[in-house]
Amino acid sequence: MADSNDETIKDKENKPPGLDFICSSFFNTQTIEPLSSDGNLLQIKQQNVTVRVETDLQTCHQLFEKFSPKKTLFELWGFRYAFYLGYKNQPVFLIFEKAKEPLGLLPLWYEEDKEELRWFGSWWQEGNTFWFKDKSIIPLVFSLFQQKVLLNALSMGPRTARRLGLTLDDPKFLLSLEQYPSINSFLSRFNRKKRYNLNRDRRIILSKNPKTIFNRFEDIERLFDLSIRRFENKDVSAFVQEQRRQTFREIIRQAREYEIRTVSTEIDNEVVGVDLIALHKGIYYALNGAYDIEKHPGLGNYTNLLLIQDAIDLGAKAIDFLEVSYGWKEEWFEPIPLFQFNKIEARSV
């Protein structure tokens, strides 16, 4: 799809942050200090472990490919690179080493507008894990940072999270299609009233003779428009930002290790709903969707059932409806707890 060559940051206003700036802005000087013998190397105090800071994009790509387990969509370079192409935030990768032997990687980027470090690819990345050969290094990570760092959506057991002093993040929502292999088996989990309401909404939309179109990728622009219109009198859609729109265009263009899919609904020759889907290793990721529910009440419920049926037809093992409930997911699916290491001031992320 898109050119696979990594871009380099050439804007003078977006130079890689220097080691002095990184140390003074983010690191806890009681636990880590620069090594004067090397311009990008730090020593963890009282530990035989060093941390190398890498900001070159091509080198970061190579490190990402080396350490990422690539088990989920969010662990694929192409998916995270789409966010880089949208936002152009400077990568700041931390390589943990012992006797010059790499032990693990913490892939971050620097958000200049907030002066914060977050995951490479932004807070949007989910189910994050630590890519370390030596798991004993993980507690050291949290001792390094004193401020302006957010490691969100961490996937681990609650006991481990408590031991590490992490706090709860928004849960994510997963539907096992091995547990619910058909729409009817899924609907059976609801009480009688809820089943009636869902079937009613589906009948109402079906009475309008909707047309479903798969993989008309240009409909991503219609998704942006529907989302912006949907929230114009309430919260502001994230797609008012050109960076977010460009990111989602790039998610489509960068699809190599993952498969991309759009699901569009037309009524009376008008596109009234669009969903963007990614597929990787049998998981159907519902990345984003927008619908004209003002003109077509019930379209949201109709589409959710449509996506579940689509995933079943494709032989998916599960559907990942991602993090944050938005007031409806907890009624449909079981929440999966996620955790965070939050060293930023309390405000919207």
Return the percentage of the chain with pLDDT > 90, whole number: 78
Contacts of residue 242, Cβ cutoff 8 Å, sequence gap at least 6: none
pLDDT at residue number 15: 56
- Residues listed for the chain: 349
Q: What is the mean pLDDT of residues 88-107?
A: 94
For 222, other C-beta atoms within 10 Å of its C-beta total: 18
CB 122 within 8 A of CB 133: no
- What confidence tens digit (pLDDT) does each residue in 118-146 have? 999 999 999 999 999 988 889 999 999 98
Contacts of residue 241, Cβ cutoff 8 Å, sequence gap at least 6: none
- What confidence tens digit (pLDDT) does each residue in 279-288 have? 999 999 999 9
Q: What is the per-residue burial (b if ≥16 Cβ within 10 Å, else e) of 105-132?
A: bbbbbbbeeeebbbbbbbbbbbbbebbb
- What confidence tens digit (pLDDT) does each residue in 43-68 have? 998 888 999 999 999 999 999 999 99
pLDDT at residue number 75: 98
- What confidence tens digit (pLDDT) does each residue in 17-33 have? 677 888 888 999 889 88
- What confidence tens digit (pLDDT) does each residue in 177-232 have? 999 999 999 999 999 999 999 999 999 999 999 999 999 999 999 999 999 999 88
Q: Is 80 exceeded by the pLDDT of residue 233? A: no
10 Å CB burial of residue 100 (0-12, 13-18, 19+) is exposed
Domain residue spans of the chain: 12-169, 173-324
Q: Is 50 exceeded by the pLDDT of residue 296? A: yes
Q: In this predicted model, which residue has the larger pLDDT, 36 or 4?
A: 36
Helix (H) or strand (E) holding 304: helix 299-313
SS3 59: helix
pLDDT at residue number 38: 59
Q: Is 70 exceeded by the pLDDT of residue 4? A: no
- What confidence tens digit (pLDDT) does each residue in 156-187 have? 999 999 999 999 999 999 999 999 999 999 99
CB 247 within 8 A of CB 261: no
pLDDT at residue number 337: 97
pLDDT at residue number 235: 74
Question: What are residue 219's phi and psi, to 5 degrees?
Answer: -70, -5
pLDDT at residue number 13: 46
10 Å CB burial of residue 93 (0-12, 13-18, 19+) is buried
* Mean confidence (pLDDT) of the chain: 91
pLDDT at residue number 36: 62
pLDDT at residue number 232: 80
pLDDT at residue number 6: 53
CB 338 within 8 A of CB 166: no
Per CATH, the number for 173-324 is 3.40.630.30
